[in-house]
Chains A and B, each alone.
Chain A
Amino acid sequence: MSFLNPYLLFGSLALAVPVLIHLVRREKSEIIPFSSLMFLLKVPKRSIRQQKIKNLLLMALRLLILALLVGAFARPYMTQPANPVANANSNRGVVLLLDTSYSMRYGNNFDKLKSEAQRRIDSLRAGDRMALIAFNENASLVSRPTSDKNALKAALDTVEPSFEATRFYEAFALADRVLGEFAGDQRQLVIISDFQRNGWNRSSRESVIATDVKTETVNLAVKDWTNVGIDSVSVDQTSFTRTYSGRLIARVHNYSKDRPVEVPLSVTLNDKEVGRKPVTVSANSTALAEFTGFDLPLGFSKGRVRIDAQDPLKVDNEFLFVIERREKLKVLVVDAGKPKQSLYLRQAYTSTAELPFEVTIVTGSAVTPEEVGKHEVVIINDVPRLPDKVREKMDELRKTGQGQLIILGENAEIAWWNTYAKLPVKAIQRIFVPKDRGRPSVSLTTYDQNHSIFKPFKTSTRVALNSAQFFAYVNVEAKPGAAVLAKYEDGSAVIVESANADHGLLVFNSTLDSRWNDLPLKPSFLPLFHEIVRYLSRYNESRGWYALGEGIPVTAGLESVAAAVIDPKNERQTLGNLTAGQTKFFTPSLPGFHEIRVGPDTRMVAVNPPASEGNLDSMPPEDLLASVQRTQGESQRAGIFGNEEKDEYARRQMGWWYLLLIAFLACMAEIYIANRAYKTT
């Protein structure tokens, strides 16, 4: 028997109160000197005893009433079903949870798992049913509940150790659903696992396994385990130079609690070793190994970091990564040929060799459509007008992915630019702030924080756009469909983006030569114009590697294309057609290099098994079971009962009603006896 509100049982301490009062008063009862007890002692004992018995009976009754009330409020219920004998004779329904996470590759753990599962299947009696669930990061039903031992064994043969991490909760959740199919049977759950501590997230998980399920654990955890693995590799995925100038840092983790290790670590690129060094890692610690300065071919290079460690878990001794060497982004700046007009722009994009930009500057009168076509991004830096052919070419190139930024300033002929139908704004007039607005300057105060060109200002407070002062600008009005990305404090637009149909055109309405504003002199200038060019070129840095189980984004360009993934086994997995700009996520199931094909583009991603699985520290199975198995109270609160079960549980909880009834009868008896005693006295 147990209680739904066990804390209310503390109320039974109240029982001690009358007894304590009796004892305290007895201890402290007044001593009255009396001349002689001669007559008192002659009072017949019988009457005193009768009185005592009456008093004791009254006290016992009152204590009983109190105890019954406390018991009733604590809501007692029977933990055993009303017909346990019937259940004992019924068939068993067994769910076998098989841990297939990659930690089971340690030594011959997986063989042990299989032989234990085999033994369990063999021990099934006629009429018993069993289901097999394999779990790692996900849980999957390997075999539905069946009594067919051969089918179960066949299903067991298909179970292989994965490269994924352990997650117990999903396994228990699925087991609970399967156990639900064993209604009326004696339900049993057997978990065969190494009970890795990492597999259980203790935070706020509700218990999933029903109270009446008999649980059993087979613990395959190795006591004195040892493991060295590579946790992660930090690498710049993209390089714009032939020689890799970034840093490649590999982190080696020694999970052993007491033994330091020294392992040789090597880095290979396209199966060619580019670095090697020994790494010493103290016990239960990590060490870093750094490499740089190796040559990169154009395109994707497959990289591997490997340690030659003699531990029984080999999976984490190798770590894959990908580096892409790209050509620099070609940016064409077209200006009016004024001195220093594009000085700040050029400096912004070419100040260091590592910057992925290559800038060409021409004047508006000299620019040709061919020149425009050679670049990925074109910046029209405040020119009076453009040759019509160039303007038409630009319209055409935008469709193929070219990004364009048009800067309207003091040189721009407003009337001419207003004839350009594709321009997302209508220029109205030049505004000289001191004269027209009656103030020294205006600032850029409002911007669309979700737009990627403002990403640096969203994440950092060091650079702020509003520090720049604008003394003059071309007042523009955004056309329908165009998006105003930034505004001055007086509400007029600063940066306007063309409508989605004509994607890839931005308009900035002040100059970049520090005459109309001091933006080029502010720290916010560089990040803003870097991000504008990155955005316009759709330049997207991907990651050097992903962990198994993570979703890898696959995004289409400007056109609808078919996407597919070639996995490490060279098997093609189609992702279907992607519409322009659509992103799909692909979740790899194998570690290794995956080739992602989106239309004509191909990129390479490296996928590694999750590093957390390398820590083989195990938890006591009892702790895990205690966390996942419901108590009676939880079961009731969760309301996880069928109608029959509900009736059964309701019956088991009827105790409080009986207790109150008995308490009522005891009250009646108490009143009767107390009244009689009172009348007698």
Chain B
Amino acid sequence: MSRAVEQTPANRFIDPKVLIKIQNLELVARTVVEGFVQGLHRSPYMGFSVDFASYRQYQPGDEIRRIDWNVFSRSDRLYIKLYEGETNTRVLVLLDVSGSMNYGSGEIKKIDYARILAACLTYFAHHQRDGVGLLTFDTDIRVHVPSSRRRGQLLTILSEIDRIQPSEQTEFRKPLRFLAEYLTRRGLIVLISDLYDEPDNIIAGLKALRAKGNDIIVFHIMDNFELTFPFEDMAQFEDMETKRKLHVIPEYLRKQYLMILNEHMERIRKELSGTRIDYCLMDTSKPLDMGLFTYLAARSKSV
């Protein structure tokens, strides 16, 4: 993974090992949205497209321009050509760049992990000829690259990901409300965050997006230390977002901390599964590719 980071900025996050595993799978959007560019995603709708599907007899009401006149000249019957609607989905990666994402107990910080994950997904989606967009946020929207299939889109997004500097607190309500208003087309929204906000804010925003027909995947990025709280000695813990300090004797607080954390995660998981939003907890101490593989395998089965 570190070798990948040392590559050129544009594609530095694409770990070949990750890609090898992911390329064996197909990223299939659960929801087929309307599209007009050929892609790998099979559309349940017939429509204006380039791939021929079959013929059917003309029925009154059909558009005359869709009659295959060559067939008519040979058979003197009116048939209408049906094309397989191959559409692109629009994938929008929502990347949390709040200060808490800068935390990392080991070699890798959560933000690095999230970057790689975002890059992988972006690359992967781009490879599938999906329109890819990026939105980074903390308390507000920091960078917004609208989804597009343009040739240079991947590089644009990757370079934006590369420039990310975590700083502020997390605030889900505002960016999600913005998205709910802004996104007019349905698509796949991938939220990569440590979800350090009140569950109500997170869930309310995601539900609004889900209600508009978007498919949503939530990657919950957590450091292993956050999940296990293995600290021993008394210390001052400094909030990386608010810079607030707190004297903590870990041995006294560990139990209660883990209980509250688990409650938080459990509630999010429950609420999201209730609205058919996928939730995947990613432990930064675990290999990234394993996480993606597990998730996409499950995803592919579900389609």
Contact = CB atoms under 8 A, between A and B. Distances in A.
A40 B234 contact: no
Interface stretch (B51-59, B206-214, B248-256): B248-256
A33 B103 contact: yes
A450 interface: no
A42 interface: yes
A501 to B, nearest CB: 101
Interface in B236-258: 236-242, 244-249, 251-253, 256-257
Contacts of A31: 235-238, 245
Interface in A20-68: 25-26, 29-44, 47-48, 51
A37 B239 contact: yes
A30 B233 CA distance: 9
B189 to A, nearest CB: 23
Contacts of B103: 33-35
Contacts, number: 77
A681 interface: yes
Give the contact-size bracket for chain A: 20 to 34
A678 to B, nearest CB: 10
B239 A48 contact: no
B112 to A, nearest CB: 14
Interface centre among B239, B257, B261 (most CB of A within 10 A): B239
B226 interface: yes
A35 B253 contact: no
A43 B249 CA distance: 12
A31 B248 CA distance: 10
Contact of B257 (A26, A29, A32, A39): A39
A30 B246 contact: no
A30 B236 CA distance: 6
B237 A51 contact: no
B196 interface: yes
Contacts of A26: 247
B246 A40 contact: yes
B238 to A, nearest CB: 5
Contact of A32 (B101, B238, B241): B238
A33 B253 CA distance: 17
Nearest to B243: A33
Nearest to B262: A39
Contact of A30 (B99, B194, B235, B249): B235
B144 interface: no
A43 B234 contact: no
A42 B260 contact: yes
A51 B252 contact: yes
Contacts of A39: 257, 260-261, 264
Nearest to A31: B236
Contacts of A44: 256
A29 B235 contact: yes
Interface string B53-69: 00000000000000000
Nearest to B249: A51
A43 B244 CA distance: 16
Contacts of A681: 251-252
Given A33-B103, A34-B103, A35-B103, A40 B248 contact: yes
Given A29-B235, A32-B237, A681-B251, A40 B196 contact: no
B241 A36 contact: yes
A38 to B, nearest CB: 6
B261 A35 contact: no
Given A31-B245, A32-B231, A35-B110, A40 B237 contact: yes
A675 to B, nearest CB: 16
A509 B253 CA distance: 111
B260 A34 contact: no
B235 A37 contact: no
Contacts of B238: 31-34
A48 B252 contact: yes
Nearest to A38: B196
B15 interface: no
A112 to B, nearest CB: 74
B236 A35 contact: no
B287 to A, nearest CB: 21
B219 to A, nearest CB: 16
B138 interface: no
B223 interface: yes
Given A39-B261, A42-B260, A43-B257, A34 B237 contact: yes
Given A30-B233, A30-B235, A36 B253 contact: no
A596 B236 CA distance: 99
A25 B233 CA distance: 11
Contacts of A35: 99-103, 110, 194, 196, 223, 226, 239-241
B63 to A, nearest CB: 58
Contacts of A41: 246
Contacts of B245: 31
A153 to B, nearest CB: 80
Nearest to B196: A36
A42 B257 CA distance: 8
Nearest to A681: B251
Contacts of A29: 234-236, 247
Given A32-B238, A33-B240, 4 more contacts: A30-B233, A33-B103, A34-B237, A36-B240
Interface of B: 99-103, 110, 194, 196, 223, 226, 231, 233-242, 244-249, 251-253, 256-257, 260-261, 264
20 contacts: A30-B233, A30-B235, A33-B240, A34-B103, A34-B238, A34-B239, A34-B240, A35-B196, A36-B100, A36-B194, A36-B196, A36-B241, A37-B246, A39-B264, A40-B246, A40-B253, A43-B257, A43-B260, A51-B252, A681-B251
Which 6 residue pairs are nearest across A and B when measured between Cβ atoms? A35-B103, A35-B100, A37-B239, A30-B235, A43-B256, A34-B237
